Structure 1
Amino acid sequence: MPDPVDATLRLTHVGGPTLLVETAGPRILTDPTFDPPGRRYGFGWVARRPTVDVAVLHLGCVRFPVTGPLRYSMTGEQAVATCRALHPRVVVPVHYEGRSHFREGRAAVERGFAAAPDVRDRVRWLRPGGVTPVD
């Protein structure tokens, strides 16, 4: 494991809303885009797909009446496809309940992960106010 005292933080804009956050320890991919699963991105300095330690996935299938069918976060099915494309070590679902604009709550997201045996064991559900280990 790299030196935990190293405070280096690297941010790589992958495209769209996607950002790769790298520290001395884990690499975190945030807001994966909704491109077809398996799409490869060039990062300029590396032509291979990065190793993703923790994928924080914004779910809930958020939509607003004014924008019609446009979604602002993934469905559970899209989350599974994203995990299959990225192969993250840990998956952290967030942003899927608590507001009226969510079209899929935790139960729907859980069903999506439960139907994917190759993904479900990597999912870590956060508890509000709690600490969730990701190692």
Structure 2
Amino acid sequence: MRLTHVGGPTLLVEVDGWRLLTDPTFDPPGRSYSFGWGTGSTKTAGPALTPEDLLPVDAVLLTHDHHADNLDDAGRALLDRVPVVVTTAPGARRLGGDARGLRPWESTVLASPGLAPLEVTATPARHGPPLSRPVVGDVVGFALREPGRTDGVLWISGDTVAFRGLREVAERLRVDVAVLHLGGVRFPVSGPLRYSMTGRQAARVARLTAPRVVVPVHHEGWSHFRQGRAGAERELAAAPEDVRRRFRWVERGVATEV
């Protein structure tokens, strides 16, 4: 498996001949975006690669469509150039066309001539504190595996805090590689409440799901992140050694075998 971190949540996944792109964000830095309910962010870093560097792509895995740090204008334009988009059920209704909407634990199978089928299962995600879904909207993660297999899973957490839905991931899946969205997001309007994982939470999730490798993403490039790599690593330093050694920080723009 080869992963190329483009920036933010955007990752090119190359597995068994498939080329999959997560949460496409390709706008240049400097612009501010509203997320609604008095929240928003400014993009502070551009992508390491352009859409032209990455195409062709077989499918986009979109954890949610309604926040610009997961789907910005340039990323939205890219969707028309990709055969399949898999996202949340409300997101598929908003996007229209052939977008496939999944609720947690629903699956779809990707099929393409010359490639082995690939099953994509939506996994639970909660993009904030308890009872926040009516405000922050629906988000999912994704589990990728060969149909019928229970091991060798690539799990992409999506924007989520650590909550009991992630325990279901550990119970149902044998995760090999976990891509965790970090950043420790907070907003002035909601004080100390978090909307994505911190390094401490990531360590708990890694201990729970026991992947071979953990790849942190979505912790840089936006002003609403309250914990970048350095802060996450400080918290991870307190985790047991067998948890720490699983974490692998990949260089942006560089294809990395995991």
**What TM-score do the two structures reach when normalised by structure 2?**
0.43
Name the residue aligned to 2:119.
9
Name the residue aligned to 2:178.
55
Shift of 1:128: 1.2
Shift of 1:90: 1.0
Q: Distance in 1 between matches of 2:178 and 2:118?
A: 20
Is the Cα–Cα contact under 8 Å of residues 183 and 226 in structure 2 kept in the other structure? yes
Q: Pick from 10, 15, 34 the counterpart of residue 162 of structure 2.
A: 34
Q: Pick from 115, 127, 134 the counterpart of residue 238 of structure 2.
A: 115
Partner of 1:41, secondary structure, is helix
Q: Distance in 1 between matches of 2:121 and 2:166?
A: 20
Task: Determine what percentage of the aligned residue pairs are the same residue.
Answer: 49
Aligned length: 126
Is the Cα–Cα contact under 8 Å of residues 123 and 157 in structure 2 kept in the other structure? no
Q: Distance in 2 between matches of 1:23 and 1:11?
A: 9
Q: Distance in 1 between matches of 2:189 and 2:143?
A: 32
Give, as a single letter, the amino acid of the residue that structure 2 aligns with 1:74.
M
Larger strand proportion, structure 1 or 2?
Answer: 2
Q: Distance in 2 between matches of 1:15 and 1:65?
A: 23
Name the residue aligned to 2:187.
64
Name the residue aligned to 1:20.
142
Q: Distance in 2 between matches of 1:40 and 1:113?
A: 20
Q: Which runs of 5+ in 2 are unaligned?
A: 1-15, 17-114, 127-138, 147-151
Is the Cα–Cα contact under 8 Å of residues 7 and 23 in structure 1 kept in the other structure? no
Name the residue aligned to 2:257.
133
Q: Which runs of 5+ in 1 are unaligned?
A: 43-47
Q: Distance in 1 between matches of 2:224 and 2:118?
A: 37
Is the Cα–Cα contact under 8 Å of residues 186 and 226 in structure 2 kept in the other structure? yes
